[in-house]
Structure 1
Amino acid sequence: MDAGERASLSLRLILRLFQTTRTKESLMSDSILQGGSTVLDPEAGQVTIVNTYVVEPERADELISFLVESTLSTVRHVPGFISANLHIAHDRSQVVNYAQWQNVEALAAARENPKLAALMQKQLQIAKSFSPVLYTLKASISAG
C-alpha cells in the first residue's frame, strides 16, 4: 500500500468514525489510524497550512464530513498534496485542518484551482469563519 492509498484509507476510516459511536479504547486499537502519510521531518521541505474553522457546535460533524469527503474526492488528487489531518475542539466550536503540501509553489497552484476555490466557498457555508496560516516545520520531538 503506497502513501496515497494509506491516506485515503485513513480518511475513509475517519469519516466512518463520525458516522458511528466508538469508545476511545476501540479508536486507539485501530493501528491504521495511528499512521499515515504526514511528514514530520524539518529537512523534508514541505509546508503546512493550518486552517482553523469557527463553527456552531451542532454543525461540527457536518464540517468534518464535508472536509473528509472533499479531500477524498478532490484535494488528494491535486499535485503536491501530502496529507490532511482533522481535529475537533472538545467543545466542538472549532475544527482544525492540518494539511501538508510538498512546497509553497504546490500550495499556491492549488489555491488557483477552480475546484478547490468552490470547495472553500462551501466550507464558508458551513463554518462561521476560517483562518488559514502557513507554517514550516522546524523541529519534531518524540517521546523516549
Structure 2
Amino acid sequence: MTPTTISTDADVATLINVFTVAPEKQQALVKVLTTATEEVIGHRPGYVSANIHASTDGTRVVNYAQWTSAEALQAMFADPECQEHMSAALALAECEPHLYTVESVHHA
C-alpha cells in the first residue's frame, strides 16, 4: 500500500472531489465512497490512495485521491463498474471533481 504523499515533487495526479450533501445523507455518502474505494476503485490500475473527509457541519464530503496519472484517473471514470458506484454517490449528492497540482507544502 502506498501512503498519501503531499509534496510538490510527488509524481501523481491529485483529484479533489467536493461533494455537497444534505446533512442527513452525509454518512451514507461517506459509506458509499468508502465501499466503492475498498471494493472497486482501489483495485484499478494507477490507483495510489484516497482520503474521505466529512465536514463538521454535515454539508460536504471531500475525496482527496491520488493516481499515477491523469490518464489512469480518466480510465477509472470510464470504467462501467466504477460508474455504477459513482452513480450511487451522485444519487446522494452533487459533486465537483477537479485535478490539482501541489504548489506549496508547509510544516511546523
The CA RMSD measured in Å over matched residues stands at 1.2
Aligned-pair identity (%): 35
TM-score normalised according to structure 2 size: 0.93
1:44 shift after superposition:
2.1
CA contact (8 A) 2:13 2:100 kept: yes
In the alignment, which of 40, 60, 83 is matched to residue 117 of structure 1? Answer: 83
Q: In the TM superposition, what whole-angstrom CA distance separates every residue of 1:12-67 from its partner, at most 9, and x where no partner exists?
A: xxxxxxxxxxxxxxxxxxxxxxxxx1021222220111111111101101000111
CA contact (8 A) 1:47 1:137 kept: no
Distance 2:13 2:61 in 1: 20
Work out which structure has the larger RCO, using CA pairs closer than 8 Å and 6 or more positions apart in sequence: 2
Structure 1 runs (4+) deviating above 3 angstroms are none
Segments of structure 1 that go 5 or more residues without pairing to the other structure are: 5-36
Q: Which residue of 2 aligns with 1:52?
A: 18
Computing the radius of gyration from Cα coordinates, the structure with the larger value is 1
Number of residues of Structure 1 aligned to a counterpart in Structure 2: 108
Q: In the TM superposition, what whole-angstrom CA distance separates every residue of 1:90-139 from its partner, at most 9, and x where no partner exists?
A: 11011111111111111121111111111111111111x11101101122
**Which structure features the higher share of helix residues?**
1
CA contact (8 A) 2:17 2:62 kept: yes
Q: Which residue of 1 aligns with 2:106?
A: 141
**Which structure features the higher share of strand residues?**
2
